[in-house]
Amino acid sequence: MQVSWSLLGRRRVRQGRFLVLVACSVAVIFLVVTRGMLKQDFLPDKECFKHFTLTETVVHGSYAKWLSVFGGLFLPQNTLVQDVFNTWYNYPKKQVDQLNAAEVHGDEGWLLDLIRDRFLVSPAAAEAAYCLESPEVQDPSMGQSEKIIRLLRNKTNGFFVECGGLDGETRSNTLYFERFLGWKGLVVEADPLNFMKMLPRRRKVWLSPTCLSLSSHPTLVSFEQKENQGLISNLPAGTSKEGFVDVQCLPLWSLLLSLNQSTIDYFSLDVEGSELPVLKTIPFDKLDIKVSIISDK
């Protein structure tokens, strides 16, 4: 009987070891699978620009003349900076005065049609792989996304607006929501050079190469390019000066109307000192904003 108990004990030890081995194997498989799932939404660095097609470099109406080094075609940078309206943005030059007249109301039908046609880039296809410099960084927002997620109780499928989008990845306050929580949204970036870097990242949201107007109607401004610190300058539009480029500003409300969007779950505003004038243009009686992060320069 004593031998039987000894055999039974050894058998139980072997069974215990087997269960531990199975548990460890399951854990390893889970980590591999989940890590693989994370990698499925982006292309490796060496593959990114190889898969960036010419079709994507000529992005419908707004960018009929936009040619990129990423697609194998080269547009001289000085041309882009000096004459942005005739080259990169394909701006409707004959409509400049009409578009920026003081009497233009931000909700006029022709204006909304023009915004849809000229100043919005459609989201990348859902199945298109992201082309990110640091895809392993799930949240590049430096902790801000985590706070918003708690405030909104892990909300999925929301809608965000990020103004001051830079390249669409670096310090992005919204990329996590888009990649992992299924959010839609709008990213606005005024600097043409930053916006050009954003396009190949294949964000699954609307993009706009504009600045937010400081009044309730569209305005044309001289924009000072400073990488991540660009801002609307005090110089008049049309000023010919190195490092400055004319950019079309649109009221936030007009951009949202053109998207038939009257609710923002998360609003991120970082426009280098113009935050308060932008906020004063928003009709809060018509627009429902749940949570905001406003930069204070």
Q: Where are the domains of the chain?
A: 95-294
CA 120/CA 62 separation, integer angstroms:
7
CA 268/CA 196 separation, integer angstroms:
21
Report pLDDT for 165: 87
Which residue numbers in the chain have pLDDT < 70? Answer: 1-40, 44-94, 227-230, 297
What single letter denotes the amino acid at residue 210? T
Q: Is 115 left (phi over 0), alpha (psi -120 to 50) or beta?
A: alpha
Q: Are 189 and 174 in contact (CB under 8 A)?
A: no
Q: What is the DSSP letter of 206?
A: E
For 127-262, strand residue ranges (E) read 159-163, 184-188, 206-208, 211-212, 219-224, 231-232, 244-250
What single letter denotes the amino acid at residue 215? S
Report pLDDT for 237: 80
Report pLDDT for 63: 40
Give the count of beta carbons closer than 10 Å to the beta carbon of residue 213.
26
List beta partners, residue 211.
249
Report pLDDT for 196: 83
CA 206/CA 188 separation, integer angstroms:
9
Q: Are 204 and 172 in contact (CB under 8 A)?
A: no
CA–CA–CA angle 159, 99, 249 (5° rounding): 45
Report pLDDT for 74: 33
Report pLDDT for 287: 97
Report pLDDT for 69: 33
Report pLDDT for 24: 54
Q: Are 262 and 241 in contact (CB under 8 A)?
A: no
Report pLDDT for 9: 53
- The radius of gyration computed from the CA coordinates of the chain, to the nearest angstrom, equals 25
CA 277/CA 58 separation, integer angstroms:
34
